[in-house]
Structure 1
Amino acid sequence: MAGETPRAQPPPLDPVPAPEGHPHHVLWRWRRNPLRRRTDRLHAWIALGLLLAVLAAAPAAMFAVGDAAHRHYRATAEQQARTRDHRPAVLVHDAPRHPEPGSAEAKRTRYPVEVRFTGPDGAARTGETDVEPGLPADSTVLVWVDAAGEITAPPLTGDQIRSRATGWAILAFLGVALTGLAAHGVTGMVLHRVNLARWDAAWAVTEPRWSRSS
């Protein structure tokens, strides 16, 4: 009907707040607003400084630690190659047989068996080494022997050196990143306590006036 007063409409809904992690939520400390405190701005600058520090220090630490580890393990491999010999050894007894002879698993399986060999000093020695399944007694295998005449692992290979150096480099990168995160967390807690202390001081001044006015 013409001239009829329109029905009242409900007020518009408040906008949905930005979720945690949203850029609007993450960057609020950088925007001017009446609720932003000096500690909020300081926290934002500290977070930015820590981020830049981690981005600069993590690759440098990764390279330095990885290079040092690579040189260490390469020197270790060279020392092992000088002091370890590949010597023949004879099985003292038969090696166990695999339940599935001829299978792919049997080709990869090794069993510890006692062997007899001659040490660097010429004396007869016995030890234990891993051999293929089913080898009969008196079979000859090659074992690595150290300067003390003990059966040991072969010298480190190039792949093992690179793998271990890479592992240390990754640990260095993670260490720098975790240190940055810890520093950010500690800074946040300290500034939060500063905010609480300032709020308590301000309330101690305001509360008496608030009580009298009520």
Structure 2
Amino acid sequence: MSSESPQAQPPSAVPGAAPVRHPYLLLWRWRRNPLRRPSDRLGAWVSLGLVLAVLVAAPAAMWGVGDSAYRHYRSTAEHEARSRDHRPAVLTHDAPRHPEPGSDEAKKARYPVPVRYTGPDGVSRTGTTEVRPGLAADSTVLVWVDAQGRLTEPPLTAEQIRSRTMGWAILAFLGVVLAGLAAHAATGLVLRRRNLAGWDAAWADTAPRWSRYP
């Protein structure tokens, strides 16, 4: 008995696997074919234009907004350094003790405590500032005071300026990218509605001719 070798079979698709697409399928809107509509070519040109616009505008917006933010925060820091003063203040109450003295958390913890200090005008004032845990009443700490004699935050540091500048720059970059995506989605929606309207018109013209046949 002669045995016949089985014929080769095409590989079966793996369940759940994504279909294999050739790279040229991604550029079908650019290739000549009888199924390509004018709206397909228009959508391709719009997509290309949006990609190029985002590639140019996003870095430009990131640099422009970042530079403006840096100038703003640097000017703010200089104004704060001129208008704020570091002054001694005396605790009027004991600061709470941390439940885990000596721990890393205790070293970073700060508790609000009432203090008494002298403002730039020489008048004694009271306020609340954050101090290390465990400080006893009548201990002296340094506080920042503004020109009106109110307790305030220290002037912006170089690290804070860089952090805030980078935050605004990243937001500007993402804003341009999201605007490009929104424009692409809106364009696709308009073209899709235009295609559907064209199909409806074509069907309205074709359907009566089909109804002539039994």
TM-score, normalised on structure 1? 0.89
In 2: Cα distance, 1:61 partner to 1:20 partner: 38
- 1:26 Cα deviation (Å)? 3.1
Aligned CA distance change for structure 1 residues 128 and 106 (closer, same or farther; 3 Å): same
Residue identity opposite 1:171 in structure 2: L
- 1:19 Cα deviation (Å)? 4.1
- 1:141 Cα deviation (Å)? 0.2
In 1: Cα distance, 2:90 partner to 2:32 partner: 82
Preserved contact between residue 116 and residue 125 of structure 1 (Cα < 8 Å): yes
- The corresponding residue for 1:136 is 136
Aligned CA distance change for structure 1 residues 85 and 29 (closer, same or farther; 3 Å): same
- The corresponding residue for 1:43 is 43
- The corresponding residue for 2:58 is 58
In 2: Cα distance, 1:140 partner to 1:184 partner: 62
Deviations 1:124-159 (A, max 9, x none): 100111111110000000000011111110000011
After superposition, where does 1:103-142 map in structure 2 within 5 Å? 103-142=103-142
Is the counterpart of residue 177 in structure 1 residue 174 in structure 2? Answer: no
- The corresponding residue for 2:162 is 162
In 1: Cα distance, 2:209 partner to 2:13 partner: 36
Residue identity opposite 1:144 in structure 2: W
In 2: Cα distance, 1:87 partner to 1:105 partner: 27
- 1:20 Cα deviation (Å)? 9.2
The sequence identity of aligned pairs, in percent, is 72
In 1: Cα distance, 2:136 partner to 2:71 partner: 42
Aligned CA distance change for structure 1 residues 151 and 82 (closer, same or farther; 3 Å): same
Residue identity opposite 2:177 in structure 1: A
Aligned CA distance change for structure 1 residues 122 and 19 (closer, same or farther; 3 Å): farther
Secondary structure at the counterpart of residue 125 of structure 1: strand
After superposition, where does 1:14-33 map in structure 2 within 5 Å? 19=19, 23-33=23-33
Aligned CA distance change for structure 1 residues 146 and 197 (closer, same or farther; 3 Å): same
For this pair of structures, how many residues does the alignment match? 208
In 1: Cα distance, 2:10 partner to 2:192 partner: 35
Preserved contact between residue 19 and residue 25 of structure 1 (Cα < 8 Å): no
- The corresponding residue for 2:83 is 83
In 2: Cα distance, 1:105 partner to 1:209 partner: 83
Secondary structure at the counterpart of residue 129 of structure 1: strand
Aligned CA distance change for structure 1 residues 41 and 58 (closer, same or farther; 3 Å): same
- 1:204 Cα deviation (Å)? 1.4
Preserved contact between residue 127 and residue 151 of structure 1 (Cα < 8 Å): yes
Secondary structure at the counterpart of residue 29 of structure 2: helix
- 1:31 Cα deviation (Å)? 2.5
- The corresponding residue for 1:195 is 195
In 1: Cα distance, 2:209 partner to 2:120 partner: 93
Aligned CA distance change for structure 1 residues 18 and 97 (closer, same or farther; 3 Å): closer
Secondary structure at the counterpart of residue 78 of structure 2: helix
In 1: Cα distance, 2:20 partner to 2:120 partner: 68
Aligned CA distance change for structure 1 residues 27 and 132 (closer, same or farther; 3 Å): same
Residue identity opposite 2:54 in structure 1: V
Deviations 1:74-93 (A, max 9, x none): 00001101110000000001
- 1:25 Cα deviation (Å)? 4.7
Residue identity opposite 2:82 in structure 1: R
Residue identity opposite 2:175 in structure 1: G
